Amino acid sequence: MEWLLREAWTTVHSSIAMSKKEIIKKIRSTTGCSEEKAKMIFENAIKNKDIIVMLDWEYIINRVIIFAIIVAAIWALLQYV
């Protein structure tokens, strides 16, 4: 279910929607620390509510629309059989 979640890394003036991997990569490039240390910083940021985990609604809605189109196409094909 990880693909449904995205983390929003919020700052004082803006919020950027990023995946967990993108945030850890950003932490590593900014601080120059190891992968394990970056994951620990990430987990602490979630606990401190510096990073807010939210559903990626755009992805979910896109998949629902694609599913509805496929179901409608199958239904239309079955009407001719």
pLDDT, residue 15, reads 56
| pLDDT beneath 50, residues of the chain | 1-5, 7-14
d(CA 45, CA 9): 9
Confidence at residue 3, expressed as pLDDT on a 0 to 100 scale: 44
Query: How, if at all, do strands 15-18 and 51-55 pair?
Result: unpaired
Which pLDDT score, from 0 to 100, does residue 11 have? 40
Cβ contact 80:30 at 8 Å:
no
Reduced to 3 states, what is the DSSP secondary structure of residue 56?
A: coil
- The pTM for the full model equals 0.57
> What is the model's pLDDT at position 2?
45
Q: Which helix (H) or strand (E) holds 7?
A: strand 5-10
User: CA-CA distance, 74 to 23, in Å (whole number)?
Assistant: 40
Enclosing domain of residue 35? 2-79
pLDDT at site 33: 87
- Provide the domain count of the chain: 1
Q: Quick one: DSSP state of residue 50?
A: S
